[in-house]
């Protein structure tokens, strides 16, 4: 667990986080070992390790507000919820006083050898999220490379992938941090499908412009 200005951040492996103050936000629940009560659930895109129906069933409840990329709507409509909000890149919404903005998330140089297309094409409109909660800004990049849209992003805390293959690698994560200039960077997207904790420590050793926090699984 990591706390910043009374906002608590927990990492559950891969890209799964909770962000809590008065309300609890759960991002991309996947392979959870225990249930989480979530007031707000964010789903970045439709790949199985981000949109996991089995995990959503143990996180969502009748009062949950689910916020997802548009491509997820058909798969999540039967999940327990109070409301579903679908966002296109650059859309934003306010829920319980928390502003959530969708940021494009896509590949530039991570190509599927079978399809010859990016693993995360730009025209799929997959997203990351900037969450503004209690005067703290948190950017969950989602599954993305370093993209031009990051040039205008400012945030306190950056949740950044490091594994390579499908997302940015450590060297590219450093470039993203240099663009965005957060106060804190937290590595993610390792230890489950691709990438290892050594990628997280390589990021910590390399980054000079901010503090890198490596979280233990909650």
What HEC string does the chain produce? CEEECCEEEEECCCCCEEEECCCEEEECCCCCCCCCCCCEEEECCCCCCCCCHHHHHHHCCCCCEEEEEHHHHHHHCCCCCCEEEEECCCCEEEECCEEEEEEECCCCCCECCCCCCECCCHHHCCEEEEEEECCEEEEECCCCCCCHHHHHCCCCEEEEECECCCCCEHHHHHHHHHHHCCCEEEEECCCCCCCCHHHHHHHHHHCCCCEECCCCCC
Classify residue 138: in a domain, yes or no: yes
Classify residue 184: in a domain, yes or no: yes
- The mean pLDDT value for 179-203 works out to 98
Classify residue 214: in a domain, yes or no: no
pLDDT confidence bin for 163, thresholds 50/70/90: very high
Classify residue 114: in a domain, yes or no: yes
Classify residue 200: in a domain, yes or no: yes
Classify residue 215: in a domain, yes or no: no
In percent, the amount of the chain with pLDDT more than 70 equals 100
Classify residue 216: in a domain, yes or no: no
Question: Taking all residues of the chain, what is their mean pLDDT, rounded to a whole number?
Answer: 97
As for how many domains the chain has, the answer is 1
- The mean pLDDT value for 169-190 works out to 98
Q: What is the CATH number of the domain that holds 40?
A: 3.60.15.10
- The mean pLDDT value for 98-120 works out to 97
- Domain extent, residue 100, equals 2-209
pLDDT at 76: 98
pLDDT confidence bin for 56, thresholds 50/70/90: very high
């Amino acid at each position: 667990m990591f706390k910043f200005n009374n906002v608590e951040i927990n990492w559950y492996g891969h890209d799964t986080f909770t962000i809590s103050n008065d309300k609890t936000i759960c991002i991309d629940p996947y392979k959870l070992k225990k249930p989480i009560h979530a007031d707000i659930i964010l789903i970045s895109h439709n790949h199985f390790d981000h949109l996991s129906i089995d995990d959503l069933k143990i996180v969502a409840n009748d009062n949950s507000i689910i916020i997802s990329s548009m491509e997820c709507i058909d798969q999540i409509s039967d999940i327990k919820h109070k409301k579903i909000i679908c966002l296109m890149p650059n859309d934003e919404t306010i829920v319980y006083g928390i502003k959530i903005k969708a940021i494009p998330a896509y590949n530039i140089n991570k190509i599927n050898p079978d399809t010859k297309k990016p693993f995360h094409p730009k025209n799929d409109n997959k997203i990351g999220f900037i969450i503004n909660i209690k005067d703290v800004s948190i950017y969950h990049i989602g599954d993305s490379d370093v993209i031009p849209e990051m040039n205008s992003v400012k945030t306190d805390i950056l949740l950044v992938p490091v594994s390579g293959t499908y997302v940015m690698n450590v060297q590219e994560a450093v470039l993203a941090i240099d663009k965005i200039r957060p106060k804190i960077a937290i590595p993610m997207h390792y230890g489950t499908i691709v990438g290892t904790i050594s990628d997280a420590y390589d990021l910590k050793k390399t980054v000079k412009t901010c503090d890198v926090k490596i979280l233990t699984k909650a």
